[in-house]
Amino acid sequence: MSKNEDLFDITTLLMTLFSSLEIIRDENKIELIYDVEPTVPKKLKGNSEALLHLLTQVLTFVLQNTENKEIVLSISSPEDFLYEEIVTFTVEETGINETKRVSFITTRLKESLDPLKAEIETNDPVSSDIIISMPLKVDDIGNRRYYRLPDISMLGKKVLLICEQKKVARSIEKMFQYFLYEVDVGLEVYKKNGSNLSRYDMVVISADLATEKLEALIMRIQQKHTLKYVIVENANFNVSEVHHPKVRTAYLIKPAMQESIYELIIDLFRGDVEERTIRSSLVETIIDMRKYINYEKLLQEEKYVLKAKKELDIQQVTQQNTITPLPTVLDTEIGLKNTKTVGMKYRIKLKEFLNSFEHSDIFFRDLVNEKSIWKTKEFLIDIEREARFIGALRLVSVVEQASQLFVYDKMDDLPLYVNKYHIELGKLVNEINKYIKENS
């Protein structure tokens, strides 16, 4: 099997990535969270070495430049993964401004994207996501990341989740919900549902919020009720160094992934299944959890999140006020004025443009792939002149940016504009056809 077609486990790759970023994560006190959709196959075929290098580059850049304390890497793929499909890796809400992101992508990522045939997707300028899509193959069509618990009684449990990090909590909640679990996140929801600790099959709490007082409470409840107690710990946590002779405790080690939750559930409820233990729904244990957890730590984190959200809102409003509005796809007023000056009907000119340039994105791509520098330059000059004449301002903008690469001797970046050109040409063709139809 060639280097570009090796078989790899996506979970193993992500864990390797997590470990490689340990120093920078710890230095900047940033939580890296994975959100892998169940549609992504467990085993994939592709250049795993190049993929790991690319993700390491991107996340290192984000961890060095973000002000956020939680960064989510989400991975998604089509529902029907037949043989080769596009897999999308998204670093969500980086909080890094567009100029810095674009500069990093254009100057640092080209050599890492090419071996994977990967592309950076364009998105809303206000969004700070970094979205990378690439084709990957599956070796075995039946090899899905679907998890089936060994007994139906393990499904549909109730969980109280208390975690000061909101995105970590959201990620864990989503993974429990995969198994039809009802998850109450935070003290507000707990209080709303009656503050009855006996309502739950499981209490999951961040290590920073757990206290000896809470463990004493859990121990008392466990004597009468099959309550599972789970502490969410960091990756460098050593279970063997902790002793809980009285409190039956399980650990969920970050980064939590669907496999982790699956194994946790089996481990926690295997004994109950064998003994056919049924939890009593008649017991009530009304407890004010604020008195038992590290509530001050939780309040500090919530204040930080509110402050960060306020600053982000101000930043986004500022960006929205300073971003130059995108030009019109087809400014018919300009086109009508230009065709009138040469005694020509605008509708006829638009038809001529379609005849000459409707499939010019393919021509542009081929020129770039062939590295035909002068032909590419001539093409850009021609298309800019014709597009400007009919009022295709968005396409003109893309062509102008591509033409600047010749000025600064950065022709290697031309492939970045092939997809941009394809997208804008498609929008323009739709607008032209719409205008011709309405004015026939």
Return the exposure string of 248-269: e unless at least 16 CB atoms fall within 10 Å of the residue's CB, then b.
ebbebbbbbbbebbbebbeebb
Q: Where do the DSSP E strands lie in 80-201? A: 84-92, 119-120, 130-137, 158-162, 182-185
| pLDDT of res. 147 | 78
Q: How do beta strands 43-46 and 6-9 pair?
A: antiparallel
48 burial (CB, 10 Å; 0-12 / 13-18 / 19+) is buried
d(CA 140, CA 153): 30
- 152-298 sits in which CATH class? alpha beta
- CA 327 vs. chain centroid, Å, equals 29
Nearest to 257 by CA among 91, 33, 76: 33
Nearest to 251 by CA among 270, 272, 234: 234
pTM value?
0.66
| pLDDT of res. 1 | 44
Q: What is the mean pLDDT of each run of 10 residues along the chain (440 residues)?
A: 75 94 91 90 91 96 92 89 88 88 87 91 74 87 68 91 92 92 93 90 94 91 88 83 76 91 93 76 80 86 58 51 64 91 90 92 89 87 91 90 76 82 91 89
CATH superfamily ID and name for 3-137: Histidine kinase-like ATPase, C-terminal domain (3.30.565.10)
Nearest to 174 by CA among 34, 50, 44, 12: 34
Nearest to 377 by CA among 330, 417, 335: 417
- CA 350 vs. chain centroid, Å, equals 40
**What ranges do the domains of the chain cover?**
3-137, 152-298, 332-438
- Asked if 94 contacts 130 with a C-beta cutoff of 8 angstroms, the reply is yes
Q: Can you state the angle between helices 360-369 and 373-390, rounded to 10 degrees?
A: 160
Q: Report, in angstroms and rounded to the nearest whole number, the Rg of the chain calculated over CA atoms.
A: 28
The 8-class DSSP code of residue 380 comes to H
Q: Specify the residue for token string 């984190």.
A: 301
Residues paired with 249 in a beta bridge: 229
Instruction: Answer positive or negative: Cα dihedral of 247, 253, 256, 261.
Output: negative
